[in-house]
Amino acid sequence: MGSLQRHRCRRGQRLGPRALVGLAALLTLALAACSSAATPAPESESPAAVEPPTRDRPLSARPSPAASADAVAPFSTATQTREAQQVTVAVTWTNPGAGPVFAVVLDTHSVDLDRYDLRQLARLRTDQGLEALPSGWDAPQGGHHRSGTLAFPTTTAEGRPLIGPDTRTVELVIRDVAGVPERVFQWTR
């Protein structure tokens, strides 16, 4: 075998630096292969991208293009934060599928936050031109630290859904807290 030597690992024996680097490289490749196999390929509308029927997946079991086009992407539940005039406002849309209900946290060390009633100061706007006032602001008094639930109706006064399948952008606007005309929190899908 020339200059190559065979090494056997015995119990209690440590691997050398080359072996550790090689093992790390193999693990990285294995994990990358597993994660790419679990990630679905992007959908395409071209007929070439349609999988042919198989014994395990007959033609009738495939989703129709119309059905996948009707699927509505969810809004994010990530927390958004705006800080101005020494007041931080953090908003989380807790469950977009359940309607427009937001967890709101107001935090400061310079202003009494109890005087701000978000039921009067907040508005919800959509890219469909709809706007709604809150149906509830459930937040106990807290002075410099206040948190609660800000809820909006799911339908307009005319009975239309406030957030429908065609809605792509929703904005929560909180006005006039600590002299800031508007703090806008936006979710898109």
Q: How confident is the model at residue 13 (pLDDT cuts 50, 70, 90)?
A: low
Mean pLDDT across 63-78: 62
* CATH match of 80-188 with 2.60.40: yes
Q: How far is CA 118 from CA 41, 49, 57, in A?
A: 44, 50, 52
Angle at the Cα of 85 (from 94 to 170), degrees rounded to 5? Answer: 30
Residue 82 has pLDDT above 60, yes or no: yes
Rg for the chain, CA atoms, rounded: 27
Q: What percent of the chain has pLDDT over 70?
A: 62
pTM of the model as a whole:
0.62
Percent share of the chain, pLDDT over 90: 59
Which of the four pLDDT bands, split at 50, 70 and 90, describes residue 91? Answer: very high
Query: Does 54 have pLDDT greater than 70?
Result: no
Of how many residues is the chain composed? 189
Eight-class DSSP state of 110: S
152, 174 contact by CB (below 8 A): no
Domain ranges across the chain: 80-188
* Phi, psi (deg, nearest 5) at residue 65: -60, -35
